[in-house]
């Protein structure tokens, strides 16, 4: 798999899944934009790792839930690399996966749902609108969003988070239908629990062991496990795939 000559923009790429995706693309010779919100030090470390792997990377700060921030991010990426071929929308609003600390439905305000919808769907809306002009001009582009297997199997009912990710899947399918004739593919990757990440560190060992027992491959995903399927969907090998939801959870969901 070779992404030479391709520019990839990964939102939320300073740590965790986003950083693993950025480094995987860099290892395949892509130019990589590492978007981050606050942690410049972590973003710089991801950039250094990308460059060491043979890519050409830089970090760009932006709040992608803000449409002006999304436009500025893409403009800066274009100034640096001339184009954006692949957008991986990985950023999401802060969330801690802890069954003990989660709010029950009757404890949730609409603002809790809105925060997650803004982090998933509003951010995707702004980012995709920002990258579309260049993709439409070339009649070529790939968009990949990151959701969760909880949309199909809410083993822990994180109502606000999972509702937002379910909306992101529907959002992507509508885009795939509209943009397919214009040369742009849109797909979604749905991981199961990924450990370790900042969001998943609060998950207790008993829940992890329960999930492992329910997973045919008998382990929990690492960030690197998610990166491979993302690269596949971005590659010519997946050139006839759009509108798809790809579960990356060791077989916990078989669709």
Model confidence at 99, in pLDDT bands (50, 70, 90)?
confident
Structural domain includes residue 254: no
Structural domain includes residue 128: yes
Please say if the pLDDT value at position 205 is more than 80: no
Q: Which residues form the domain of 109?
A: 7-248
Please say if the pLDDT value at position 253 is more than 90: no
- The per-residue pLDDT for 96 is 78
Please say if the pLDDT value at position 201 is more than 70: no
Please say if the pLDDT value at position 237 is more than 90: yes
Pairing relationship of beta strands 31-36 and 86-89 according to DSSP bridges: unpaired
Six-digit token string for 247: 């579960």
Q: Alpha carbon of 83 to those of 13, 137, 186: distances in Å?
A: 19, 11, 18
Structural domain includes residue 155: yes
Average pLDDT, integer, range 71-75: 98
- The per-residue pLDDT for 211 is 80
Average pLDDT, integer, range 92-120: 90
- The per-residue pLDDT for 194 is 81
Please say if the pLDDT value at position 204 is more than 80: no
Structural domain includes residue 255: no
pLDDT digits (tens, 9 = 90+) for 134-183: 999 999 999 999 999 999 989 889 999 999 999 999 999 999 999 999 99
Q: Is 195 labeled as catalytic in the residue annotation?
A: no
Percentage of the chain beyond pLDDT 70 is 96
Model confidence at 210, in pLDDT bands (50, 70, 90)?
confident
- The per-residue pLDDT for 240 is 98
DSSP string for residues in 131-143: HHHHHHHHT-EEE
- The per-residue pLDDT for 57 is 97
Q: What is the CATH number of the domain that holds 229?
A: 3.40.50.720
Please say if the pLDDT value at position 203 is more than 90: no
- The per-residue pLDDT for 197 is 63
Structural domain includes residue 98: yes
Of residues 129 and 194, more confidence is placed in 129
Structural domain includes residue 1: no
- The per-residue pLDDT for 236 is 96
Active-site option among 158, 161, 195, 247: 161
Structural domain includes residue 16: yes
Domain count for the chain:
1
Structural domain includes residue 2: no
Q: How high does pLDDT run on average in the chain? A: 92
Please say if the pLDDT value at position 130 is more than 90: yes
- The per-residue pLDDT for 199 is 61
């Amino acid at each position: 798999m070779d992404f030479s000559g391709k520019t990839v923009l990964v939102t939320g790429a300073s740590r965790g899944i986003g950083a693993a995706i950025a480094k995987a693309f860099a290892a395949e010779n892509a130019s990589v934009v590492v978007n981050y919100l606050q942690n410049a030090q972590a973003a710089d470390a991801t950039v250094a790792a990308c460059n060491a792997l043979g890519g050409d990377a830089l970090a760009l700060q932006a709040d992608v839930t803000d449409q002006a921030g999304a436009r500025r991010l893409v403009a800066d990426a274009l100034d640096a690399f001339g184009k954006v071929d692949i957008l991986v929308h990985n950023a999401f609003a802060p969330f801690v996966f802890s069954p003990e600390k989660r709010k029950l439905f009757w404890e949730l305000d609409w603002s809790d749902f809105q925060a997650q919808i803004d982090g998933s769907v509003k951010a995707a809306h702004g980012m995709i609108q920002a990258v579309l002009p260049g993709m439409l001009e070339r009649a070529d582009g790939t968009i990949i969003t990151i959701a969760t297997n909880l949309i199909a199997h809410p083993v822990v009912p994180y109502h606000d988070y999972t509702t937002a990710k379910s909306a992101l899947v529907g959002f992507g399918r509508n885009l795939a239908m509209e943009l397919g004739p214009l040369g742009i593919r849109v797909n979604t990757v749905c991981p199961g629990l990924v450990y370790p990440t900042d969001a998943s560190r609060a998950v207790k060992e008993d829940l992890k062991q329960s999930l492992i027992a329910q997973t045919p491959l008998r382990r929990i995903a690492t960030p690197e496990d998610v990166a491979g399927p993302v690269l596949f969907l971005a590659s010519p090998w997946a050139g006839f795939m759009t509108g798809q939801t790809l579960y990356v959870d060791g077989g916990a969901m078989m669709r």
